[in-house]
């Protein structure tokens, strides 16, 4: 029998994978991918809670998270293309304008 | 039984796909693996009786978001590997993961021990007898109507921003400070001449 805990465990494993991606990768495109993984893992958690508590609010939250993710991709990819046009690289370290 | 098999299949495949995304050197492989992972996550949604959300997941993520990434990648030179200089040791990452897991346990332990019960009294009678897409529609257009409209405005803003940022002449008008601009130009010229 699959319980809520199973889904939450899978969700947190996926979240950790996304977190590792965000921390570790230096390619900006891969950073965006990792962000998508984070959002999706949270979605799984929300929908699982919605099912096991019999309340649709979790699904609504997941729905709005998908909307936020879509707009985040549009804006973020626009900025990334702009940056690539300027500098010719999508390395995260190329964004260190402040020499700290 | 069927649910058990499906759950473990989907979770294993999703974790494998997302591990490929995070660990692969090639951005193209990462993107394909991410698209596959998105579709597998919609499998979770169907398993959890969220039919509408599963369909939305396939349409929005694999249809729109990944297509956007695919088009965006045409602007980049994906064959050129980004040299990632990673200085930190594995211990740091281990500690990161450990602290994340600890925080999750700290936050969730009280809930798990109390076995929190929901109060689903609010709109239960409203959606009685409706299947999932109908129920989602009813809730979305009654309880969450304002948020829905706000999300629509947000998507419109995002669309306009995307068009403005990626269109041709805008890269000359959206500027940083002038000196930074010069430095960046020089760096770019040096890179070009190589």
Please say if the pLDDT value at position A99 is more than 80.
Answer: no
Q: Which residues of A touch B14 (CB under 8 A)?
A: 10, 14
Task: Name B64's Cβ contacts closer than 8 Å, sequence gap at least 6.
Answer: A70
CA angle B45, B48, B49 (to 5 degrees): 95
Compute the distance between CA of residue B92 and CA of residue B99 in angstroms, rounded to an integer: 11
- The whole-angstrom distance between B106's CA and the closest CA on chain A is 14
Output the CA–CA distances (angstroms, integers) from residue A14 to A8, A21, A40, B55, B91, in the order listed: 10, 11, 8, 21, 20
**No. of helices (H) and no. of strands (E), chain B:** 9, 0
**B5-36 pLDDT, tens digit each:** 999 999 999 999 999 998 888 888 899 999 99
Identify whether the C-beta of residue B34 lies closer than 8 Å to the C-beta of residue A17. Answer: no
The confidence score (pLDDT) of residue A35 equals 93
Q: Mean pLDDT in chain A?
A: 87
A48 with A7: CB under 8 angstroms? yes
Neighbours of B129 (CB within 10 A): 7
Class at the top of the CATH hierarchy for domain B1-79:
mainly alpha
Contact B68 A77 (CB under 8 A): yes
Residue A70 confidence (pLDDT) above 60:
yes
What are the structural domains of chain A? 4-91 (1.10.287.3510)
pLDDT value, residue B88: 62
Determine how many CB atoms are found less than 10 A away from the CB of residue B157.
13
Residue B90 — φ and ψ, nearest 5°? -70, -25
* Residue with the larger pLDDT of the pair B184 and A24: A24
d(CA B104, CA A97): 35
Model pLDDT, residue A66: 92
Please answer yes or no on whether B3 and A2 come within 8 Å at the CB atom: yes
Tokens at B28, concatenated: 């193209």
User: Shortest CA distance to B93 belongs to which of A17, A37, A8, A31?
Assistant: A17
Q: What residue spans define the domains of chain B? A: 1-79, 144-194
* A47: nearest CB among B3, B31, B48: B48
Q: Is the pTM of this model over 0.90?
A: no
Residue scoring higher pLDDT (B140 or A18): A18
Q: Contact, B31 vs B70, CB < 8 A? A: yes
For residue B152, what is the nearest residue in chain A, using CA coordinates? A67
- Residues forming beta bridges with residue A91, ordered by sequence position: A27
Instruction: Give φ, ψ of A91 to 5 degrees.
Output: -80, 135
Q: Taking chain B, what is the end-to-end CA distance rounded to the nearest angstrom?
A: 61
Distance set, CA B18 to CA A30, B21, B115 (Å): 11, 5, 31
C-alpha–C-alpha distance, residues B167 and B162, integer Å: 8
CB–CB contact A24 B86 (8 Å): yes
Examine the predicted complex and report whether its ipTM is higher than 0.95.
no
Structure tokens at B17: 């796909």
Instruction: Identify from A36, A41, A45, A96 which residue to disrupt to test chain B contact, counting B C-beta atoms within 10 A and taking the largest count.
Output: A36
The set of residues, in sequence order, having a beta carbon less than 8 Å from that of B26 and lying 6+ positions away, is B78
pLDDT at B118: 45
Q: Is the pLDDT of residue A34 over 90?
A: yes
In which residue ranges of chain B is pLDDT below 70?
Answer: 77-88, 112-129, 168-185, 194
Band of residue A36 on the pLDDT scale cut at 50, 70, 90: very high
Chain B within 8 Å of A3 (Cβ-Cβ)? no
The predicted-structure confidence for A42-55, as pLDDT tens digits, reads as follows 999 999 998 888 88
Q: How far apart are CA B178 and CA B175, in angstroms?
A: 8
B192 Cα to chain A: minimum distance (Å): 9
């Amino acid at each position: 029998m699959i319980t809520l805990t199973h889904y939450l465990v899978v969700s947190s494993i996926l979240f950790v994978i996304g977190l590792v991606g965000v921390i570790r990768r230096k390619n900006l495109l891969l950073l965006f991918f990792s962000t998508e993984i984070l959002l999706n893992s949270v979605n799984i958690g929300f929908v699982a809670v919605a099912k096991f508590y019999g309340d649709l609010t979790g699904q609504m939250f997941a729905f709005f998270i998908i909307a936020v993710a879509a707009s985040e991709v549009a804006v973020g990819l626009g900025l990334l293309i702009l940056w690539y046009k300027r500098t010719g690289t999508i390395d995260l370290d190329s964004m260190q304008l402040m020499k700290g | 039984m069927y649910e058990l098999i499906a759950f473990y299949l989907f979770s294993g495949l999703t974790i494998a796909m997302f591990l490929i995304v995070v660990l692969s050197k090639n951005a193209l492989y990462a993107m394909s693996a991410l698209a596959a992972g998105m579709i597998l996550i919609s499998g979770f949604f169907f398993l959890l009786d969220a039919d509408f959300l599963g369909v939305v997941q396939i349409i929005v993520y694999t249809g729109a978001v990944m297509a956007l990434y695919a088009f965006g990648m045409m602007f980049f030179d994906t064959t050129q590997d980004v040299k990632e200089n990673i200085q930190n040791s594995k211990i740091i990452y281990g500690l990161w993961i450990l602290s994340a897991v600890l925080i999750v346990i700290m936050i969730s332990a009280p809930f798990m021990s109390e076995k929190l019960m929901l109060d689903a009294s609010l709109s239960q009678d409203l959606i009685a007898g409706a299947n999932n897409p109908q129920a989602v529609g009813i809730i979305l257009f009654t309880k969450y109507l304002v948020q829905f409209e706000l999300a629509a405005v947000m998507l419109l803003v995002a669309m306009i921003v995307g068009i403005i940022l990626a269109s041709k002449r805008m890269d000359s008008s959206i500027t940083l400070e002038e000196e930074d601009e010069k430095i960046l130009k020089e760096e770019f010229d040096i890179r070009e001449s190589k």
